[in-house]
Structure 1
Amino acid sequence: MSQIAQRLSELGIVLPPVAVPAAAYVPFVRSGNLVFLSGHIAKKEGKPWVGQLGKNIDTATGQQAARAVAIDMMGTLSAALDGDLERVVRIVKLMSLVNSTPDYTEQHLVTNGASELIGQVFGERGLHARSAFGVAQVPLGACVEIELIAEVRG
């Protein structure tokens, strides 16, 4: 069992299959040694995790939503790499869009839900640059959307 597969197993995580795009895009694009994942929205029980931070979702719940996004993104990244996450050299960057009220200022803490899980799974390779933005809305009313760039080999 690979290190990544072992960490996922220890965390009780089973990676989902790639979600069918909801519009005119593809789930990922590979260019050279980089894989760009399209934005993934937070889902709960297979449906968009709807809500707005600062209105009807608190920061801790937002972190759980961001963690759920990270699990979906790892599933897509695995598909992009023919099931071999050991080919990840580095998670380069995350960009997080947090559906939040104008006065909500903890977008960075929400995004930690994804960043911390990626660090747990990939170790040093999971340390990444990051941006976290508050936005007025995310597609389908989801509370969080995150995209990812990874450097890969082979």
Structure 2
Amino acid sequence: MAGKIDARLAELGITLPDAPAPAANYVPYVLAGDMLFISGQISAGPDGLIKGCLGGNMDVEGGAKAARQCGIAILAQARAALGGDLDRIVRVVKLGGFVNSTADFTDQPKVINGCSDLMVEVLGDAGRHARAAVSTPSLPLGVAVEIDAVIQVR
């Protein structure tokens, strides 16, 4: 049975993929009481990894699209963790955003907005969150963005 969040995803034309498998020795999420901790989700879409370096070979718009894909993966992991019931989400508490960028690139917040905006589009006020948006000289597999999440659930 589809819930409110599934209906909202459909309205937005978003189909969640299966939750991505971990790429190393960790679990994709940990549910501890009413808090769901989702491991970093790397930028990937239907055509594979979204690679790039912001301030180098990728612009802010491309980075924001990559961050949005990280958000879609976060929601897919949440769906897996919650037995398919995204309506158990109370609120997104915090996102941690990492942007593969040059030393002089300073628009990390604009890039991570791709994920933040998605959370609000899908979850409304429950998608508003605390956040970090930091630069890094490289990310796993050469991806442009990685984002982890802390979500309160019922």
**TM-score strictly above 0.5:** yes
The amino acid of 1:116's aligned partner reads D
Q: Deviations over 1:13-70 (max 9, x none)?
A: 1111111111000100011110000000001334221110000000011000000110
Partner of 1:59: 60
1:102 aligns with 2:91: no
- Report the count of equivalent residues: 153
Partner of 1:148: 149
The amino acid of 2:146's aligned partner reads E
The normalised TM-score by structure 2 is 0.97
Distance in 1 (CA, whole Å) between partners of 2:123 and 2:15 is: 15
> What are structure 1's unaligned runs of at least 5 residues?
none
> What are structure 2's unaligned runs of at least 5 residues?
none
RMSD across aligned C-alpha pairs, in angstroms?
0.9
Question: 1:40-119 maps to which residues of 2 (within 5 A)?
Answer: 40-119=41-120
Distance in 1 (CA, whole Å) between partners of 2:58 and 2:31 is: 35
Distance in 2 (CA, whole Å) between partners of 1:44 and 1:150 is: 22
Q: Deviations over 1:66-116 (max 9, x none)?
A: 001101110010110001010001100000000000000000000000000
The normalised TM-score by structure 1 is 0.97
Distance in 1 (CA, whole Å) between partners of 2:12 and 2:70 is: 15
Partner of 1:121: 122
- Percent sequence identity over aligned pairs: 46
